[in-house]
Structure formats: structure tokens, C-alpha cells
Amino acid sequence: MKQVQGFAFSYSVKSPDCVLYIIGNGTKIVVDTIEKVADLYFLKASADVTKDWAVGDYKYQLLDDKGIVEEGEFIVLRNFALSDDETEVKSRNELILEAIEAQLAGRATSAQSSMSVGDKSISYMTIDELLKLRDYFKEKVDKEKGKYSAGNAARIKYVWKVR
């Protein structure tokens, strides 16, 4: 499920007792406003509410009075119309890659060195761990940007050989 900041959210549900819980990035969003249209029920959140939702990847659970009805991934996308000139548009993978490279070069800021990958802060990682993570996140960033990498050989359409 995806939602763009600053746009009205509407999701069709089967019962007027449904509540949507969205959790991730240290945030919990609860959507519990139900609107009935004809014989259908919709969970609703206004554009004024969704503009304050933090951009990122979340998990969601849709519950009714009997338990979990549905669960999955929920993505909140940035609305550039709501952004100012100072808004960071780099992906999380790009930010982590920059932090790892800065740590390896010995010029990481306090914000970069305090970033965590998994359960470990970048500042406490060994050089070997940082090098492995750099390769991993470099590949992820390349895939995001559609660039060629060793693990993305399917992007090459033709291979020319000299005889």
C-alpha cells in the first residue's frame, strides 16, 4: 500500500469496526475514521493529516473486532510540493553509503557515525565490516538508480566480442 504526503487517504474495508495501524521508523500512525458510502465502508485520513506523515517504509495491520484482517508493507512517498529548498532527497541507502564512506575516510560527522545498520552503530564497526557494508549498499544504490553492477548483469542487452 502506498500513500503520498498531503493527499487524502481512503481505503475500502468490510466492517465499520476496522482500524489501520501503521508502524515503522519510530512512528505509529493510527487511521480509525470510517466513512460509509452507499453500502461500503472506507478508512479515511484527510490531506491535512497525511502531510505530516514521515516519508519511509512501514508495516501495517488492518484490524477489526475479530482480529487481524490484513497486513503488509506501507510506503509513504514524499510530496515535493510540500518540500522546501533544504529538503534532503537522498534515499536511506544513499545516506548509509555516504556515512560508511565517510567513516572509512575518517571524516564522518557525528550524525553519520551514529547511524546504525542492523543493531550496530557505524562507529563501532571494524574496517572489514565497513568494507562489506559499503559493497552491499553500493549495489543497492546502483539498483535504485538503474545502474549496472556485478549483481545486475541482466541490464546488459548485448555483449560484443572481438574475434
**Domain end: 78, 101, 117, which one?**
78
pTM value is: 0.57
Q: Are residues 10 and 56 in the same domain?
A: yes
Residue 161 domain-assigned? no
Domain that holds residue 27: 2-78
pLDDT at 44: 96
pLDDT at 87: 59
Rounded CA-CA distance 12/42 in Å is 4
- Bridge partners of 60? 22, 72
Q: Which amino acid is at 40?
A: L
Instruction: Specify the CATH number for the domain of residue 61.
Output: 2.60.40.10
Which sign does the torsion angle of CA 2, 37, 8, 71 carry? Answer: negative
Residues of the chain with pLDDT under 50: none
User: How many structural domains comprise the chain?
Assistant: 2
**Domain end: 53, 78, 103, which one?**
78
pLDDT at 90: 75
